[in-house]
Amino acid sequence: MSINSTALQTSAVINEAVQTLRDGGLVAFPTETVYGLGADARNPEAIQKLFTAKGRPSNHPVIVHLAAPEKYDAPQVDWAALLSPWVRDLSEDALQLINAFWPGPLTLVFKKDKSVLDEITGGQDTVAIRAPAHPLAQTLLRKFKGGVVAPSANRFGKVSPTSAADVRSEFEGMLDLMVLDGGDCEVGIESTIIDLSSGDHAVLLRPGAITPSQIFAKTGIKVSQPGEVTATHSEKNIPRVSGSLKAHYAPTTPLRLYPPGRVLDALSEFPDIKSRVAVAVWDSDSSLGHDGHPSVYFEEVTVPSDSAAFASRLYRSLRDLDQLGWDLLLFPEPPAGEEWDGVRDRLQRACFGSGPSSSNHASN
């Protein structure tokens, strides 16, 4: 079942989606990052249905999505009351981050309240939470009056969806899946994840549109990289989170990255699969030309040299190219700088998982 964006003004549509969630069904809905596949975060059977639909391992945690409280005339939103059913304790740093960046593409990891289902956390003592900024997501969550777990609305390990059409193509056999169409996603890659569960450090677990520099500039909070944290918060205690597997976001077509100015070298490295190649080039670069490679048929695909625009179109480009029958996709290595860390992370995982056997990589 698909609901078009033009119909979304009617509360009847949202009410139907809310009832579907309450009845233990699944609802795909847009966020500013990617489309999520939503289930009631308090319903173990609904969560199991979600994991089965995605083919997602049951020990892989999911993010709880909450509505931002209605501000009305309140000088400050009371996030503490909203989070108390989910989170054991809320630090001053957490409240600063929430007030600065929620609703928005920032997920925070806390020590969980004892009532939070193990099905959500992968059996860990932490829970990941965010408040998405997309108005349709906010309306749905506010009317639902509860938490909704919503990993990306795609088969596990594959390219995340940034349109309702992507969701429908992923789950075309699921006739009872309700899909809310809120247009194309603006941000285009999944949220930044910050771990606050240690109590004394904010640790970056997944890069995204919100960078550590932006967080420091707005809040004065220093975000550490996992390797920078002292022995009291060792690597083994950092919680597993969504999208942290080595192979993820992967197209079926083999995907490789090439260093600056080395695209023709990259073409030579793959003699077995180089007959038809799609080469992504920066919009600021000149055309490659076909000199010296008569055996290769390649087409150039222009990609934005602005990090936010590149992120916004990344999954769209991968999905579209994946359907065109290329033997190889070549993308430029993103430049240095933390504003590129999110797309660099997604591209590296996509490369590792890509290829005809990518469904097997996802379980590694």
What pLDDT was estimated at residue 4?
53
Q: Which helix (H) or strand (E) holds 263?
A: helix 263-269
According to DSSP, the β-strands at 192-195 and 106-111 are: parallel
**Do residues 203 and 223 touch, judged by C-beta distance below 8 A?**
yes
What was the pLDDT predicted at 234?
A: 44
Q: What integer is the mean pLDDT of 117-143? A: 95
Question: In 3D, which of 186, 164, 130 has the Cα closest to residue 311?
Answer: 186
Q: For residue 236, what pLDDT is reported? A: 54
Sequence-distant (6+) residues with CB within 8 A of 267 are 274, 277, 279, 293, 296, 298, 330
The fraction of the chain above a pLDDT of 70, given in percent, is 84
* pLDDT above 50: residue 180: yes
Kindly tell me if the per-residue pLDDT of 313 is higher than 60: yes
What is 2-237's CATH topology? DHBP synthase (3.90.870)
Give the three-state DSSP class for 171.
Answer: coil
Is the distance from CB of 276 to CB of 266 less than 8 angstroms? no
Q: What is the mean pLDDT of residues 250-264?
A: 89
Whole-number average pLDDT of the chain? 87
In this model, does residue 9 exceed pLDDT 80?
Answer: no
Question: What pLDDT score was predicted for residue 362?
Answer: 41
What are the backbone angles phi and psi of residue 349, rounded to the nearest 5°? -70, -40
pLDDT digits (tens, 9 = 90+) for 315-358: 999 999 999 989 999 999 999 999 999 999 999 999 988 887 64
Q: Report d(CA 176, CA 27) in Å as an integer.
A: 9
Reply yes or no on whether the pLDDT at 252 is more than 70: yes
> For 81-114, how does the pLDDT look when each residue is reduced to its tens digit (9 = 90+)?
899 999 998 999 999 999 999 999 999 999 999 9
- How far is Cα 238 from Cα 226, in angstroms, rounded to an integer? 8
**Candidates 2.40.160, 2.60.40, 3.30.160, 3.40.50; CATH matching 255-361:** 3.40.50
The gap from C-alpha 194 to its chain's centroid, in whole angstroms, comes to 14
pLDDT at 290 over 60: no
Q: What is residue 323's three-state secondary structure?
A: coil
Beta strands across the sheet bearing 297-303: 255-258, 328-332, 276-282, 297-303
Rounded CA separation 131/121 (Å): 17
Domain boundaries, the chain: 2-237, 255-361
Contact by Cβ (8 Å): 361, 247: yes
Residue 232 three-state SS: helix
Residue type, 337: G
Rounded to two decimals, the pTM is: 0.90
How far is the C-alpha of 142 from the C-alpha of 68, rounded, in Å? 8
Give strand pairing partners of 40.
Answer: 148
For residue 363, pLDDT over 50 is answered with no
Instruction: Check pLDDT > 90 for residue 229.
Output: no
Task: Work out whether the CA dihedral 138, 143, 147, 148 comes out positive or negative.
Answer: negative
One-letter identity of residue 170: E
Task: Return the exposure string of 64-100: e unless at least 16 CB atoms fall within 10 Å of the residue's CB, then b.
Answer: bbbbbeeeeeeeebebeebbeebbbebeebbebbbeb
Task: Supply φ then ψ for residue 92, to 5 degrees.
Answer: -65, -40
